[in-house]
Amino acid sequence: MNLDDLAVDLAQRNATHGDFSEVARLVCDARAVFSDAFLALNPEQFLAFDMILLKLARIAVGKSDCADHWRDIAGYAVLGARSIKENKESPAVEG
């Protein structure tokens, strides 16, 4: 990839993901809010949680109608849930 291609790619991502600096600030602010919660998470849950924060920031700053952001959140939530050991799972709530 040459520099011209990279510039085009970054411009396209800026349009869908939002300004990188704004997204970074928002994610760092959210991490500070949830820092105590991170201590209770296993590594897979931690990464899933962190990636969900990133996707939420992209929705808030970028295009909220980008379906990939929403699908990614669902995917990371499933990966976080899969990391829970069977004996730690809470019973399903019937509604």
Of the candidates 76, 42, 40, which has an alpha carbon nearest to the alpha carbon of residue 58?
76
pTM of the model: 0.81
Q: Which pLDDT value is given to residue 88?
A: 62
Share of the chain above pLDDT 70, in %: 89
pLDDT digits (tens, 9 = 90+) for 11-39: 999 999 999 999 999 999 999 999 998 89
Q: Per-domain residue ranges for the chain?
A: 3-85
Q: Which pLDDT value is given to residue 95?
A: 40
Of the candidates 49, 54, 46, 47, which has an alpha carbon nearest to the alpha carbon of residue 24?
54
